Amino acid sequence: MPTIKFDRKNFFFYSIIVVLIFLIDRISKIYVINYTKEIFDISIYNSKFLNVTLIWNEGIAFGLFSQGNVFFYNILTALIIFISIGVLFFSVMYQGLKRYALICIFGGSLGNLYDRISYSAVPDFIDFHINEFHWFVFNVADIFISIGVIIMIMTEFFVKNRNQNDQNN
């Protein structure tokens, strides 16, 4: 486990990244929400592979655990807050790509957490599909969270393989 090493010199830089991720997410959601109000339709754009359609997600990632139960929703929100704090803590501990991955995850989680608290749901609107097969509808914050998770998995896989190769040689 890495040691905690607070880097004041780069703290401002990492904070800017988190704020930019949050702002990009907020601006995209505000645009979609306001545009759907203007046209009185939840569907903004439809094409062969991409639809922009506003849905309100009361669950967690990809609409999982959407129960409609206020108590369950509040428990999920509290759990997301604790996980976000943990991600922030680990982003201070790690360096390099892992830190950037965790910063992406944290920035995205802040965007979705803001919506959960403000709207009691997260606005999702990006719908990729092939014919009738639709992937889960998601938003910009989800993109950053997914990128961060993919980077974490890739760094773990490649670092572990590199360390094993170094030990074998």
Task: Determine the pLDDT at residue 82.
Answer: 96
Reading the block at residue 86, the tokens are: 């943990």
Burial of 83 (0-12, 13-18, 19+ CB in 10 A): middle
Collapsed DSSP state (helix, strand, coil) of residue 169 = coil
Q: Which residue numbers are catalytic? A: 124, 142
pLDDT digits (tens, 9 = 90+) for 109-123: 999 999 999 998 999
Average pLDDT, stretch 27-46? 89
Residue spans of the domains in the chain: they are 9-168
| pLDDT tens digits along 47-92 | 889 999 999 988 665 555 555 677 888 888 899 999 999 999 999 8
Choose between 33 and 44: higher pLDDT.
33
